[in-house]
A and B are shown apart, each in its own frame.
Chain A
Amino acid sequence: MTLFEEVPVTTTDEIPVRRVEMRVNGETRAANIEPRLLLAHLLRNGLQLTGTHTGCDTTNCGACTVLFDGQPVKSCTVFAVQADGHDITTVEGLATASELHPIQEGFKDEHGLQCGFCTPGMMLSAKALLDENPNPTEDDVRWALSGNLCRCTGYQNIVKAVLWAAEKLRHDAPADAPADDGGEA
């Protein structure tokens, strides 16, 4: 041996990796991820579903809201690994190939957006509300959206958009459809 011999780098820190499988907008998706990956980043960067926006990244604004088993969550504050085996709905899951969802139509018709940054989160909070309560009052809508911040609209038209969508959904629903009890245990 000479005075110097280069050796291969070894590390004792093993990077933990988990395989996860979840349903995203009805499709099964699987990935190998580090546990510290946030759900918002898996959706945006991993699955290229960039409709989910990150506004504050500090759990305050609600722009990153997605549905986790039908309930709104801030995807910047849930680890992706926690979604293993669960159902995630993002804004991309609202429309079908040919038709906008009534909530999206409502935002269009009632001018419920300006810059659009808060809109995906607003629409998913609205969806969770309307799934549970198809006939909300204006106060119910304001209450359900109170965790979603909007810097542009002053909220007035967002509330109108959701009430518009509620009416459209009630109108579209077959009259004899059983009322959804919102899954109360």
Chain B
Amino acid sequence: MFPSRFDYKSPTSLEEAISLLSAHEDAKVLAGGQSLIPMMKLRFAAPAMLVDINNIPGLDQHGAQSDGSYRIGALVRHADLEKSKTLGDHQPTIAAAAPLVADPIVRTRGTFVGSVCHADPQGDWASCMVALDGSIVAQGPNGRRTIAVDEFVAGPFQTVLAADEIAVEAIIPPASGTRKGGYLKLERRVGDFATAGVALSLEMSGSTVAKAGIGLTGVGSATISATEAAAALVGSSLDDATVDAAAEAAAAATSPRSDHRGSADYKRHIVATFVRRLLAQHQPAEAKVA
């Protein structure tokens, strides 16, 4: 399969890339290409111009900042996150999800930020961003703006980015307390999108939950923020009754479709089970006995 004809530029600075996007109608950013190139081959996308950002230096870094936030540059690949030795200490939710995105070969090219920009309701990273209250920093001709993920994603495969804006990094805000969390995904085989996935973020003050976030993958027409389930956790020490209430609330927040990956009931059941499993990892010993 061949994509339809397009012109190609590979700028070496963000400013140059942005002016190319401004100057050309129907131009698109090419990051890892692991969603865009398959779509172009199927001719679901036919941009007239690709602005390849892979040669722009400085976008391939991720790490904790002095203010406690965590930044992920636009060229950080899924595999960079998977292989990082330090990510898990700062961002357990992202570290748990990284090995579960796509397959090992796709992970060497595909990017975290590109995935959020692609805004696929089945995408694993959007759920992590929702659970962690993340934002995207966009740069355009008039400078930078920071957009919270729930505002950033405007619908399936749609974002609020202007045609001449580039998402330069994702930011996870600092935790108020000790950060805990995880990601569980049910997939039929490696490389499949989630039958159901749950991203959990906890910020603990001692054994009490100070803040919580839960993002759900593949169980609705968009990434779901299970706000009631997360609210049920706050102030608790993750006793069994609270865990049950959160699991039920998360399942109730879904609107899954029955399809080749499973029935709606099955997916709802998986969401409740995953919430219980993720929380069980962080229950204090005495709560489990109670």
A contacts, CB < 8 Å to B: 13, 15-16, 18, 34-38, 57-60, 62, 65, 68, 71-74, 76-79, 81-82, 84, 125, 143-148, 184
Min CB gap B227→A, angstroms: 35
Contact between B1 and A73, CB atoms less than 8 A apart: no
Chain B interface category by residue count = 20 to 34
Could you tell me which residues of chain B, from 82 to 109, have a CB within 8 Å of some CB in chain A? Answer: 83, 85, 102-106, 108-109
Min CB gap A58→B, angstroms: 6
CA distance A65 to B104 in the complex (A): 11
Contact between B104 and A143, CB atoms less than 8 A apart: yes
CA distance A84 to B52 in the complex (A): 12
Contact between A77 and B7, CB atoms less than 8 A apart: no
Q: Tell yes or no: B149 within 8 A of A by CB.
A: no
Contact between B50 and A35, CB atoms less than 8 A apart: yes
Stretch at the interface among B14-22, B33-41, B159-167, B170-178: B33-41
Q: Tell yes or no: B220 within 8 A of A by CB.
A: no
Given A79-B33, A79-B37, A147-B191, A73:B105 Cβ within 8 A: yes
Given A36-B6, A38-B2, A78-B109, A144:B104 Cβ within 8 A: yes
Min CB gap B113→A, angstroms: 18
* Residue among B5, B108, B109 facing the most chain A CB atoms (10 A cut-off): B108
Contact between B108 and A125, CB atoms less than 8 A apart: no
Given A60-B191, A77-B34, A77-B37, A72:B5 Cβ within 8 A: no
CA distance A115 to B207 in the complex (A): 57
Given A77-B33, A78-B109, A147-B190, A58:B50 Cβ within 8 A: no
**22 A-B residue pairings within 8 Å (CB atoms):** A16-B5, A35-B6, A35-B8, A38-B41, A57-B1, A57-B41, A59-B38, A59-B106, A62-B103, A71-B108, A73-B105, A74-B105, A74-B109, A78-B33, A81-B8, A84-B10, A143-B104, A144-B104, A146-B103, A146-B190, A147-B106, A147-B191
Main secondary structure of the interface of A (DSSP, over half): loop
Q: Tell yes or no: B3 within 8 A of A by CB.
A: yes
B84 to A, closest residue via Cβ: A184
A57 to B, closest residue via Cβ: B1
Contact between B8 and A16, CB atoms less than 8 A apart: yes
Min CB gap A65→B, angstroms: 6
Given A147-B191, A184-B83, A35:B108 Cβ within 8 A: no
Main secondary structure of the interface of B (DSSP, over half): loop
Enumerate chain B residues within 8 angstroms of A62, measured Cβ to Cβ.
Answer: 103, 105
Min CB gap A155→B, angstroms: 12
A71 to B, closest residue via Cβ: B108
Enumerate chain A residues within 8 angstroms of B105, measured Cβ to Cβ.
Answer: 62, 65, 72-74, 125, 147-148
Enumerate chain A residues within 8 angstroms of B108, measured Cβ to Cβ.
Answer: 68, 71-73
Q: Tell yes or no: B263 within 8 A of A by CB.
A: no
CA distance A37 to B104 in the complex (A): 24
Could you tell me which residues of chain B, from 103 to 125, have a CB within 8 Å of some CB in chain A? Answer: 103-106, 108-109
Enumerate chain A residues within 8 angstroms of B191, measured Cβ to Cβ.
Answer: 60, 146-147
Enumerate chain B residues within 8 angstroms of A76, measured Cβ to Cβ.
Answer: 41
Enumerate chain B residues within 8 angstroms of A148, measured Cβ to Cβ.
Answer: 105
Contact between A72 and B104, CB atoms less than 8 A apart: yes
Contact between A34 and B5, CB atoms less than 8 A apart: yes
A15 to B, closest residue via Cβ: B5
CA distance A145 to B103 in the complex (A): 9
Contact between A36 and B33, CB atoms less than 8 A apart: no
Q: Tell yes or no: B4 within 8 A of A by CB.
A: yes
Given A34-B5, A36-B5, A147-B191, A77:B109 Cβ within 8 A: yes
Enumerate chain B residues within 8 angstroms of A73, measured Cβ to Cβ.
Answer: 105, 108-109
Contact of B104 among A18, A58, A81, A146 (CB under 8 A): A146
Q: Tell yes or no: B273 within 8 A of A by CB.
A: no
